[in-house]
Amino acid sequence: VAPLFRLAELQESQRQLATAIQLHQRALAIREKNLGVDHRDVDSSLMRLAHLQQAIGEYTEAENLLKRALSIREKTFGAESSAVKIALFNLALAYQARGRMSDAEPLLKRALAIGEKSESDQIDAFAPIFYLAERYESLHLYPAAEDMHKRALRIAEKHYGTDHPEVGKVLDNMIELYKTQGKFAEALPVAKRALAIQEKSRGKNHTEASRGLNNLARIQMELGQYDEAEQSLNRALEIVETNHDTIHPNVAIVLDTLSDLYKKQDKAEMAAQAEARASHIRSTWH
C-alpha cells in the first residue's frame, strides 16, 4: 500500500482531496483484507481517511471512521492508553465541528481523565481542558469554565514556566471569562500579569503589548480607574504609532477605547476628536 499512500499524499498536496480519498479507501481495503479489520495499521488508514472526509464536509462518514479507529485502539492499546485519548479527542472535535457539543463533552471528559491518570496536570490534558472550558462558557456555566481555565493555567505554568507566552494565552481566556461575568476586579490582576508576560517575552514596545494595554484600559475604565486607563491607552497609542504609523487600523482600535474613556468622563470634545480620528483612519483603509 506504500505506493498508494505516496500517490494520495501527492493528491493532497495538490488539493485533489476527492482523488486522495479514493486512494486511501483502496489502501484501507487492502489492509483490511491482508491484516484484518482490527489491525493497528487499519487504524492508521481510518484516521487519515477521516481527516480528509472532514475536510470536504463528509462528516457522517468521518465520524464512523473515527469510531472504528477508537474501537481498534481500545482493543489494541487498552481503554486508558494515550492512543485512545487521542482518538477520543479527534472524535470529540468532529462532533464539535457540527455543533454536537452534548456528544463531544463526555468524550472530552474521558480524554481528560486518561491524561490526568498518567500523571497529574500533564500537558496531555491541556487540550481537553481547553475545549471543556469553551463548552461550559457557551452554556453560561461560568464556575465550571473558570475551574477549567485555572486547571489549564496550572498545567501551562508547570510545563512552560510562569512567564511563557502559552501561559499568557490562558490568562487572556480567563480575562474574557471574567469580563463576560462583569468580574472586573478579578480580571484586573490577570490582565496586568498577561501584559507583563507580553512585555517580557516580546518587549515593552511590541504590538502585542499595545493590545494588552488596551485590554487593561477597558478593565480599568469599568472600575472607574480613569487616570490609570488613560495612562495605559497613551502607552498603547505610542506603541502602535511607533510600530506602524499614525493611520494604521491598530491606532483606530486604541482611539476607540480612548473615545469611550472620555465619554465616561463627560469629556465630549476630546471624545469626538478621538472618534473622528479613528473614523478617518478606517476610511483611509477601506
Residue 167 · residue 201 · CB < 8 Å: no
Rounded (5°) CA angle 253-254-257: 95
- pLDDT, one tens digit per residue, over 265-276 is 999 999 999 999
CA 277, 279, 282 angle in degrees (round to 5)?
A: 110
Of the candidates 243, 241, 231, the residue with the CA atom closest to the CA atom of residue 281: 241
Report which of 114, 103, 190 is spatially closest to residue 146, judged by C-alpha positions: 190
b/e burial code for range 141-167 (CB count within 10 A of at least 16 → b): eeeebbebbebbbebbbeeeeeebebb
C-alpha cell at 106: 463526555
**Cβ pair 106, 116 in contact under 8 A:** no
Chain center to CA of 104? 16
pLDDT (tens place) for every residue of the chain, 286 residues total: 788 888 988 998 888 999 999 999 999 999 999 999 999 899 989 999 999 998 898 999 999 999 999 999 999 999 988 889 889 988 988 998 888 888 988 998 898 888 777 654 567 778 788 888 887 888 788 998 999 899 899 989 999 999 999 999 999 999 999 999 999 999 999 999 999 999 999 999 998 999 999 999 999 999 999 999 999 999 999 999 999 888 899 999 999 999 999 999 999 999 999 999 999 999 988 6
**pLDDT tens, position by position, 98-154:** 888 889 889 988 988 887 776 545 677 787 888 888 878 887 889 989 998 998 999
- pTM, entire model: 0.70
Q: Which domains does the chain have, with CATH numbers?
A: 1-117+129-137 (1.25.40.10), 180-286 (1.25.40.10)
| Grid coordinates given for 155 | 498545567
